Amino acid sequence: MSFLEIKKVGKSFGSQEIVKQLDIDLEAGKTLSILGKSGCGKTTMLKMIAGLESPDEGSIKLGGTIMNTVPPAKRGIVYLYQEDLLFPHLSVYENIAFGLRIQRKDKSYIDKEVRRMIAELQLEGHADKMPEAISGGQRQRVSFGRAIITNPSLLLLDEPFGSLDAGTRKDMQGLFTDLSATYKITSLFVTHDMKEAILMGDEIGLMREGRLKIYKSQQAFLADPDTGVANEIDFWGGLTSKKSE
Amino acid sequence: MVAQKRYHMRRPSFSIVMLAYGLWVLFPFLYLLVLSLSADWRFPDIVPNYIGFKNWATVLGGETGLAKSFFLSLFISVLVALSSTLCGFFLSRIVNYNKKKDLWTIISYFPYVLAPVVFGACLSYYFLRLGILGTTFGVILAQFFIAFPYAMIFFSPFWTEKTKDYENLVATLGGSLVQKFTKVLFPLSKNLLLICFFQTFLISWFEYGLSSIIGVGKVQTLTIQVFLFIKESNFYYGAMSCCLLMLPPVVFIYLNKRYVFNKIL
């Protein structure tokens, strides 16, 4: 049973068709990683799902409810940008608590949840710091915590590790995998990094010129010559064999 | 060692330069203050025959109407600054997120194409028809027409793609439009709002041409009183009204330095 059902969604800006006939079926608790180059329509697709852009055609269903006319604040879908977008006037604690505060949750509940999340994100000792006083990786952790603590139905991640160095990126990939499993997060994970797409997704999508092709398994993705994985394997395999010669 | 010696050698001359600079900057203000406390200061006397608070007592006694003008100007300027800052903030958001942003920005510059007096003359016809010529409301509205586009232009750089991303983030986290403003946009733009309030206050506070045309002598703002004293060659009252005119800017410069600039830097 699909939790996220997107049927024939399309979007144009003027005469330019950005997203064409988008179809997605994703089960609850799964991650669909979407691979695509810059300008292929990934961000527009995510914005339509989040309600920040309206589709020209098609339907978006989440948990059986049609979302097309539901405003972003009522969808329960959180959109995470490449930039962490921490609020510079709030401490780490208050940034994580932000979503719960605007939902007017009980103070003791907020405190309990935020402290739990801080521990989960390994940010103990940083709660009272302001965003400019922590590292890039820590900022991205806070950004994740701020989103996940609101218990969203769907998490949309738009190249969230794009600005991080290789080491921090690897740590964050591990953290996201753990959090996804703990909180049973359903998510769309957009990236332009093939390895990251394979590592993060239960299913993998390839987006080209506004069209999304979804592979239900890693094997199917690897087997398709269009994905370019075979070329990558040949390249690295070639290097290894040259070295051994 | 040599450098240290040179530094010590430079110090007296440096102090003299700084003292001269300080005096040069402060002299007009000190002179105005002395003049406002003086009476019967005629050539060739080096010092005035009277120094005291007689002029100020007259003002506070309300004989000249200066106190009334001071509070009227304060009322007008606070209202103009408040309304233009808030309207400028909200409307610049709409304009900057609009596809025709550039066209609207050019239109915002339009009131500055005309000199305030000419602009006032153009407005006076419509204000006469509306029955607000020569009223305090008319002067406030006319000054708003000058200060509001300034605020619009002032806030333009704030509404970037990043600000829009912040807004979208708050929305997807479940925030309403009111929460967007109260929890994120106002705190992010707090310093800009304060600076814009100060600037638009000063635009209104020092406004003369437009106020005199729209006020038609019935709305006696402080700048109009200053010019009246100057025309009458009443130096002492003129100096005193200038001191009053300087008071709010001095307070604002202090507040700016204390609460805004230090935080930006």
pLDDT digits over B142-172, tens only?
999 999 999 999 999 999 999 999 999 999 9
Taking the alpha carbons at both ends of chain A, their separation in whole angstroms is 52
Domain ranges of chain A: 4-88+131-244
Listing DSSP states for B134-160 in one string gives: TSHHHHHHHHHHHHHHHHHHHHGGGS-
- pLDDT reading at A68 higher than 90: yes
- Which positions in chain A touch B193 (Cβ < 8 Å)? none
Residues in chain A with CB shorter than 8 Å from the CB of B173 are: 73, 78, 98-99, 102, 146-147, 150
pLDDT, tens digit (0-9, with 9 covering 90-100), for A199-209: 899 999 999 99
Nearest by CB to residue B174, choosing from A52, A83, A102, is A102
Of the listed ranges A107-111, B25-29, B109-113, B161-165, the one predicted with least confidence: B109-113
Confidence at residue A92, expressed as pLDDT on a 0 to 100 scale: 97
Beta carbons of A79 and B170 less than 8 Å apart: no
The residues with which A214 forms a beta bridge, in sequence order, are A205
- Split at pLDDT 50, 70, 90, the class of B176 is very high
What's the confidence (pLDDT) of residue B155?
95
A73:B174 CB<8 A: yes
Distance from CA of A231 to the nearest CA of B (A): 37
For residue B133, count other CB atoms closer than 10 A to its CB.
21
Instruction: Assign a CATH topology to domain A4-88+131-244.
Output: Rossmann fold (3.40.50)
End-to-end, the C-alpha distance of chain B in Å comes to: 34
Cβ(A114)–Cβ(A96) below 8 Å = yes
Question: What is d(CA A188, CA A47) in angstroms, rounded to the nearest whole number?
Answer: 12
- DSSP E strand boundaries for chain A: 4-13, 16-26, 31-36, 57-62, 65-66, 77-80, 154-158, 187-191, 203-208, 211-215
Looking at residues B111-118, what average pLDDT do you find? Answer: 82
Q: Find chain B residues with C-beta within 8 A of A130's C-beta.
A: none
Alpha helix (H) residue ranges in chain B: 2-36, 54-61, 66-96, 101-109, 116-130, 136-155, 161-172, 177-179, 186-188, 190-205, 209-215, 222-231, 235-255, 262-264
Mention every residue, 6+ apart, whose C-beta is less than 8 A from residue B35: B41, B235, B236, B239, B240
How high is the pLDDT of residue A243? 61
C-alpha triplet B262, B264, B265: angle, nearest 5° = 65
Question: A20-64: per-residue pLDDT in tens?
Answer: 999 999 999 999 999 988 888 999 999 999 999 999 999 999 999
CA distance A245 to chain B (A): 52
Q: Which of A137-141, A162-166, B5-9 has the highest mean predicted lDDT (pLDDT)? A: A137-141
Distance (Å, rounded) from C-alpha A200 to C-alpha A143?
18
CB contact under 8 A, A50 and B170: no
Residue A225 contacts B where some CB pair is shorter than 8 Å: no
- Is the pLDDT at B110 greater than 50? The verdict is yes
For A18, A21, A47, A57, B112, the CA distances from A211, given in Å and listed in that order, are: 9, 7, 16, 15, 50
Indicate the range of A26-30, A127-131, A176-180 predicted with least confidence: A176-180
Tell me whether A54 touches chain B (CB under 8 Å).
no
Residue B6: is its pLDDT beyond 60?
Answer: no
Length of chain B: 265
Instruction: Quote the tokens at residue B22.
Output: 């300080």
Tokens of B265: 């830097």
Q: Is the pLDDT of residue A90 over 70?
A: yes
Residue from the list B168, B176, B183 with its beta carbon closest to the beta carbon of A52: B168
Closest chain A residue by Cα to residue B183: A102
Distance of residue A146 Cα from the nearest chain B Cα, in angstroms: 9
Tell me the C-alpha distance between A147 and A85, whole Å: 11
Compute the nearest-CA separation of A61 from chain B (Å). Answer: 16
Taking CB atoms and an 8 Å limit, are B165 and A81 in contact across chains?
yes
Q: Do A72 and B187 touch (CB under 8 A)?
A: no
- What pLDDT shows up at residue B9? 56
Share of chain A above pLDDT 90, in %: 65
Summarised one tens digit per residue, pLDDT across range B35-72 is: 888 888 888 888 888 888 888 887 767 667 888 899 99
Tell me the chain B residues in contact with residue A158 when contact means C-beta distances shorter than 8 Å. Answer: none
Q: Which CATH number is correct for B64-264, 3.40.1080.10, 1.10.8.60, 1.10.3720.10, 3.40.1160.10? A: 1.10.3720.10
Q: Do A72 and B172 touch (CB under 8 A)?
A: yes
* Residue A151, min C-alpha distance to chain B (Å): 10
Per-residue HEC secondary structure of B76-105 comes to HHHHHHHHHHHHHHHHHHHHHCCCCHHHHH
The predicted-structure confidence for A179-238, as pLDDT tens digits, reads as follows 888 889 999 999 988 889 998 999 999 999 999 999 988 888 888 888 877 777 777 777
Query: Nearest CA of chain B to the CA of A78: how many Å?
Result: 5
| pLDDT at B98 exceeding the cut of 50 | yes
The answer to whether A83 contacts B174, with C-beta atoms less than 8 Å apart, is no
Q: Which residues are within 8 A (CB) of A209 and not within 5 positions of it... i.e. 6 or more apart?
A: A20, A40, A41
> Is A136 in contact with A168 (CB distance < 8 Å)?
yes
Counting Cβ atoms within 10 Å, is residue B126 exposed (0-12), middle (13-18) or buried (19+)?
A: exposed
Which two structure tokens, joined as six digits, stand for A125? Answer: 């000792």
Q: What pLDDT score was predicted for residue B257?
A: 78
- pLDDT exceeds 70 at position A7: yes
Which of A225-239, B13-27, B72-86, B147-161 comes out lowest in average pLDDT? Answer: A225-239
Domain ranges of chain B: 2-51, 64-264
Report DSSP state, residue A151: -
pLDDT of residue B265: 44
Q: Is the distance from CB of B111 to CB of B119 less than 8 angstroms?
A: yes
pLDDT by residue (tens digit) across A71-87?
A: 999 999 999 988 999 99
